[in-house]
Structure 1
Amino acid sequence: MADRIGRAAVPALALEEVAAEVFEVAPDRLVGQVVRGVRRGLAVPDLAGSVGLSERQLYRRCLDAFGYGPKMLDRVLRLNVALDRARAGLSFAEVAARTGYADQAHFTREVKALAGVPPRTLLA
């Protein structure tokens, strides 16, 4: 899973720093650990254990920090990487293969589910 997220595609400014700036609070180090764990492909139970929380506590902390749980965070981060690859000129089939989607149809369904429009419309 770590390969499908593509560490090179991650922006230089960490998500926790952006959230801290937007909400004018000190960065939550747990948020950084969660993002790194999601990028490494940890399953939710393993991720919760790695940060010393129950799955329920992890979900609530993610909800506070991102507006959704850790699984949705994984989907959003993966989609961002996929869209960056599509913007770079890769075909949707190649984007799907390199980003860990089962196939182009899976990638298209995921874009529609998260963005509400098909990939071509989103990227236009």
Structure 2
Amino acid sequence: MENDLAYKMVEPDKSLSDFVESFWFLKNQSDSSREAIALPDGRIDLFLSRSWSDPFNIFLLGISTQPDEAIIAPKSSIFSISFKLPALEFIFNSSVADLVNKGKKLTDDFWNFNANDLNDFEAFCKKASQKIHSLIPREIDRRKQKLFELIYALKGEITVKELSEQVFWSSRQINRYFNQQFGLSLKVYCNILRFRASLEHIAKGKLFPELDFADQNHFIKQVKKFSGVVPKELFKNKNDRFILLSTFQLR
């Protein structure tokens, strides 16, 4: 990314890894707004934000299935917790089925966060971790836990039938659970994870399928479906428009 955009990501400690993928911040340090495109990544994000023009806000963003054009305000800060799907049921005790490709504003004191939390990223991560720890239930459905362990470990490269056989849960029940809880089918979610994994390869200039796509044409169609452009244009990432791809290019 250009120097006016600062980005940092840290992983949670192991005790939170079933529920949290990462903590991260994005800051636009310039006096001008930046156009950006957010790509589907399979995460649920809790955003804390503040800018010159907007007061402190907290949002919960559901799963994205399409690219989303956004404006990053000047002199703005975003601190975020990126959750894995089990967090919705076991940490938030809620569904985000109505938040596909959108989000909702939460109260400004949600989880006791406040504007001062945007001053120190390390302190924010510590505070968030302590809160999430306090919400983890003593018992978790082992069948669901194994389901998500397989999905994430294989980056979506597994069929619903294979998952059903390994966790002893019918395909129909799994899809009903996904639709009711997250607003999309398991197959669609796995496709999003596979698209996200392919971005790591595209960021390195590998414009041919590294994962289990049927062929090059299928790979291009899937990439275009979730990003709006073909792999070659993604790789160019003109003006660092594609935020998620830019983070891979920084690694």
> Any conservation in 2 of the 1:111–1:119 contact (CA below 8 Å)?
yes
My pick for the range that moved more, 47-56 or 34-43, is 34-43
Pick from 202, 205, 214 the counterpart of residue 90 of structure 1: 205
Name the SS of the counterpart of 1:99 in structure 2.
coil
TM-score by length of 2: 0.36
Counterparts of 1:44 and 1:21, CA distance in 2: 21
Q: Which amino acid aligns with 1:33?
A: K
My pick for the range that moved more, 59-68 or 73-82, is 59-68
1:58 maps to 2:174: yes
Residue of structure 2 equivalent to 1:4: none
> Any conservation in 2 of the 1:31–1:62 contact (CA below 8 Å)?
no
Counterparts of 1:64 and 1:15, CA distance in 2: 20
Q: Deviations over 1:63-98 (max 9, x none)?
A: 2444322212221111111111111x23202xx1x2
Q: Which has the higher helix share?
A: 1
1:41 shift after superposition: 4.7
Q: 1:15 to 1:114 in 2, by over 3 A?
A: farther
Residue of structure 2 equivalent to 1:24: 92
Residue of structure 1 equivalent to 2:217: 105
Counterparts of 1:16 and 1:64, CA distance in 2: 19
The alignment's C-alpha RMSD in Å is: 3.3
| Higher CA-based Rg | 2
1:103 shift after superposition: 3.6
Q: Which amino acid aligns with 1:100?
A: D
- Residue ranges of structure 2 left out of the alignment (5+ in a row): 1-9, 21-82, 94-135, 238-251
Counterparts of 2:198 and 2:222, CA distance in 1: 11
1:71 maps to 2:139: no
**Total equivalences in the alignment:** 110
Q: 1:21 to 1:74 in 2, by over 3 A?
A: closer
Aligned identity (percent) is 24
Q: Runs of at least 4 residues of structure 1 off by over 6 A?
A: none
Counterparts of 1:51 and 1:33, CA distance in 2: 7
Q: Deviations over 1:2-38 (max 9, x none)?
A: xxxxxxxxx9565744142797235765444223333
Counterparts of 1:99 and 1:12, CA distance in 2: 24
TM-score by length of 1: 0.63
My pick for the range that moved more, 102-111 or 31-40, is 31-40
Q: Which amino acid aligns with 2:177?
A: R
